Every structure is written in C-alpha cells, then in structure tokens.
Amino acid sequence: MTLSLTLAAGWVAPTIDYHALAPEIVLAIGLTVVLLVDLFTTERNKWLLSVLTGFSLLGAVLPVLTLMLHDNSVRSLFDGRYVVDEFSLVMKGLFLLAGYVIVLLSTSHVEEGDYWRGEYWFLLLSSLLGMMMMASARDLVSVFVALEFLSIPAYMLAAWRKRDVKSNEAGVKYFLLGVFASAVMLYGMSMLYGVANSTLLIDIGKSIDLDGAFGAVQALAIVFVVVGFAFKVSAVPFHTWAPDTYEGAPTPVTAFLSVASKAAGFTALVVMVLTAFPEGRDVWQPFIWGLSALTMTVGNLFALRQTNFVRMIAYSSVSQGGFVLMPLAVAGGPAGESALRAVVVYLLVYAATNLGMFAVILAVSRKTRSGEISSLGGLFSYAPAMGVLLTLFLASLAGIPPLGGWIGKFSAFQALLTDATPWAYVLAIIGAVNSVIAFGYYGNIMREVWMRPVPHGDTTPIVTPSSIQIALGITAVVTLLFGILPGIVLRFGEMAELLGAFGG
C-alpha cells in the first residue's frame, strides 16, 4: 500500500502523441456521434447512421495514411505500453477497410429488417475500435482490455436478432466459449506477470527462461495464453462455437466475425508470440504446429459434408485459419521475419476474398431466401455477373493463380521452406494436401453455379442494392490486383516491422 502511495505521489502526466492516437480518436468520436444521432432521430432518418458509420471509418483511415507516410519512426506511447509501428498501422488499415466493406454489406440488410439499427452501427464501431487498440497494445493489461473491447460488442452483434432463437443460440455459444477462453488466458497472464514482475510484453520476453526456476509455470502460462487466442481465431479443437455462431448470426455479422474478428485474434497472437514469448519458442512452436495441422484438416473435412452454404463457409474459414497459423509455427526460428510477412499477406488477401464471398451470398440470398448450396443452382444462367464473381472468390480461396489467394498460400509455404526443418516440411506437406482437399468443396459450389439447373426454374434476375455492388467491386478488384500484382501486397508484408520482435 505504501508503495502504491509513493508511486502516486511521483506521478506525472505522460506526454501524449495525439497524431499517433488520431485514428482511435476519430473512431471514438464517430461512435459517440452515431450513438447520439441515434437517440435524436426518428425512424425515417435512421439511414443517416450507416452513412455516419461509413464516414467515421473512412475518416479514421486518413490519419493511418498520414502516419504511414510521415516517417518511419516508431511511436511509442505510455512507456511502450501502446506502440504505433508499421505492423500495427497495416493491421489498422485492414480493420478499417474491412469495417467499411462490412458497413456497405450491412446497409441494405439492416434497413430492411425491423431491428435495432442504431445499436447495430454503434456496436460495430465499438468492436472495430477494440481491434485498433489490439493492433497497438504491447502490455498485458492493454491486450486484455482491447480483447474484451472487441469481443463484447461482437457477442451482442451475434445475438442481434433478439427474437430469433438461432441468433440467440449463436450469441450464447460465442459468449460462453469466448469468455471462458479469455478467463483461461487471464490466468496465464497472471502467472506471466508474477514471474516477470511487469506487465510490459518486452519485459516478459526478457524474463522468460524455460530452464529457470519458474520454467514450468511460464510454459503453462504460454500454453494458456495461446489457447485463449486460439478460441478467438477458431483454431481446432477450440472452434466448436464457430459454425453455429456463423450460421445463426445475421450474415453481415458473420462476415465481420470471420474476417475482422479473426484478423484481430491473429494480430494479438503474433504480437504475443513474437514480442513476449520468443524465448519460449520450444513451447508454443510445437503447440501452434499441432493447432495448425488439426485446424486445416478438420476444418476441411467438415466443410466437405456441409449442405448449408454459410456453414460451409464457416468451416472453410476455420481451415483458412489453419493456413495463417502455418507460418506462425516456425515464427520463433530463423524464418521469423518471413513468417510475420506471410501472416500479414495472408490476412490481407483473405479479408478481401472472404468479404467478397459474403457480398455474393448476401446479394443472392436476397432472392433465394435460402442458405442451402442447392439454391445456387444455375446461378450463372440468370445472373452471370454473380456467377463469375462467386467463382472468382472461390478460386481465390482455393489458391488458384492469378488470384489473390495464391500469393497468400505462396508466402505461407515460403516461410515454412525458409525454416528448412523436418517439422516445417511435414507441415508444408499437410498444408499442400489440404489445399487439394479444399478444391473438393469449392469445386462443388462452382459445379452448382455453372452446370446445375435452376431450382423451380425461377430465373427472375437478382436485384442488387448499390451498396452491395460497391462492396463487390472493391473486393473483386482487390482480390484480382493482389494476385496479378503481388508486389503490392508483399510490400505491405515487408513494411510490417513489429517493434520488439527479432531483437528490434
């Protein structure tokens, strides 16, 4: 007690670099405005909210850009507890743009349902603000607070359709497993703090010594923390919530969870293993290796037997998560930097492709009102543009050149081959086999789209709202661009220097 009082007496206000915090500040202002405007507008004017949400996201992109262009120096705030480095800027850009596409996808969906519109936009922005903080958090407390900040609104979004039993179930499953995972992770964090006597990730990195007196405690703590994030990125065997939540939640929310929320989980995982646990690599490398192999295989095998489209995408995104974990399994070794690059590249490409996929699903299901794969029969014959776009996104997910997906898979395999250990080669082979299995279910949908007859002969054209058309345009262009000019996305990957990793 005396100690805390002396600390309090010597306290001086930290100098705050407002430029570095500008994206978060813009977003925080944006979400407050959305909440207030929701309070004072009538039902007829609620459309304003989606516009405001979109503008605050784009407004927050501007400071991210100026920070990227300004200079290369790393901005470290609050004694290194909050760091704005290139890695965090690239991830923030990803979250904001993914968030913007999700706003485009949600607009028509939200306007047409008689649900709680203001709350929807507010929760979406809150969760995105949590993700932005996650990208910069370099302290156990800020990592924990950011994780809960992004998760709690996401739980509510999943259960957003209050009177729909499926949506309730989606929310409760996501909530209980998510909270359980973060509680287990906190227990690990408390042990890390206990041994290191600091909550700064860099100090924890210095304190980790697996052969030391507290080696066993630290090993256990590392496993607990990785398990906590494995839930967030729905890695097998911690994926059980994902298919039910993805199917039950409103479709734009599913897009949000499977892209933005997953990318945030990976961001945190990358920061933790590379800045806090580099000395603990003998524990987390084999653990992530196992998670990655299991996630790819189990996700794929379950995806093969799905008849519901959204559920199949859920399992496909589980298995895609395994591919992102793949380079992380060698991130502690000599291939560390190329592993970090591979994770960033994969996340960027995956975000564009998967969001595009959801845009097609949303557009098509407006007509078919069904989530079954068979409802896509003959899509090309009556909606050629949708058919072509769906094929494009599926091919990108499967990793066929010259689409974005292949460059993601390419850099993941490259990281494994750079590591050049037998275990890395084995994982590369498992990954290659799984890429082939994935063709099975992606191809199945393509066959439905191109060759099968139209169900009930209903060939009325699909009316796509302009917001979804814009979203389709953005994602398709980005997916193609990343594949044809991989230099762009690789440059983002190379830019992504992470402060505190690799002795930097």
Partner 1 sequence: MLTGQFLLLGAILFCIGVYGVIARKNAVLVLMSIELILNSVNINLLAFALRNGSADGHTFALYVIAVAAAEVGVGLAMVLLIYRNRRNIGLDELSEMHG
Residues lying near partner 1 in the complex (CB under 8 A) are found at 3-4, 7, 140-141, 144-145, 148, 152, 155-156, 159, 162-163, 165-166, 168-169, 171-173, 175-176, 179-180, 183-184, 186-187, 189-191, 193-194, 197-199, 243-244, 247-248, 305-306, 308, 311
Cβ-based nearer residue to partner 1, 182 or 434: 182
How near is the Cβ of 504 to partner 1 at its closest, in Å? 25
How near is the Cβ of 173 to partner 1 at its closest, in Å? 7
Q: Which of 2, 63, 69, 68 is nearest to 27 (CA)?
A: 63
In a 3-state reduction of DSSP, which class is residue 83? strand
Cβ-based nearer residue to partner 1, 41 or 308: 308
Cβ-based nearer residue to partner 1, 304 or 470: 304
Cβ-based nearer residue to partner 1, 154 or 283: 154
How near is the Cβ of 275 to partner 1 at its closest, in Å? 17
- Are 157 and 127 contacting, i.e. CB atoms less than 8 angstroms apart? yes
Cβ-based nearer residue to partner 1, 244 or 279: 244
How near is the Cβ of 204 to partner 1 at its closest, in Å? 11
Cα-based distances in Å from 261 to 154, 254, 340: 8, 10, 19
How near is the Cβ of 107 to partner 1 at its closest, in Å? 25
Cα-based distances in Å from 487 to 240, 252, 342, 415, 468: 37, 30, 13, 17, 28
Q: Which pair of tokens denotes residue 176? A: 């209980």
Cβ-based nearer residue to partner 1, 16 or 176: 176
Query: For residues 133 and 497, what is the distance between their CA atoms, to the nearest angstrom?
Result: 17
End-to-end Cα, the chain, rounded Å:
36
Burial of 260 (0-12, 13-18, 19+ CB in 10 A): buried
Is the peptide bond preceding residue 250 cis, with omega within 30 degrees of 0?
no
- Are 180 and 167 contacting, i.e. CB atoms less than 8 angstroms apart? no
Cβ-based nearer residue to partner 1, 10 or 453: 10
Which amino acid, residue 463?
Answer: V
User: 10 Å Cβ neighbour count for 399?
Assistant: 24
How near is the Cβ of 364 to partner 1 at its closest, in Å? 21
How near is the Cβ of 28 to partner 1 at its closest, in Å? 17
Cβ-based nearer residue to partner 1, 191 or 390: 191
Cβ-based nearer residue to partner 1, 199 or 464: 199
- Are 498 and 87 contacting, i.e. CB atoms less than 8 angstroms apart? yes
Q: Which residues, listed in sequence order, are joined to residue 200 by a DSSP beta bridge?
A: 139
What are the residues whose beta carbons fall under 8 Å from the beta carbon of 463, sequence distance 6 or more? 366, 367
Q: Which pair of tokens denotes residue 27? A: 């977003």
How near is the Cβ of 501 to partner 1 at its closest, in Å? 23
CA-CA-CA-CA torsion sign (169, 171, 176, 177): positive
How would you classify the pairing of strands 75-77 and 82-84?
Answer: antiparallel
How near is the Cβ of 194 to partner 1 at its closest, in Å? 3
Cβ-based nearer residue to partner 1, 217 or 454: 217
How near is the Cβ of 38 to partner 1 at its closest, in Å? 19
Q: Which pair of tokens denotes residue 476? A: 């398709």
CA-CA-CA-CA torsion sign (407, 357, 242, 312): negative
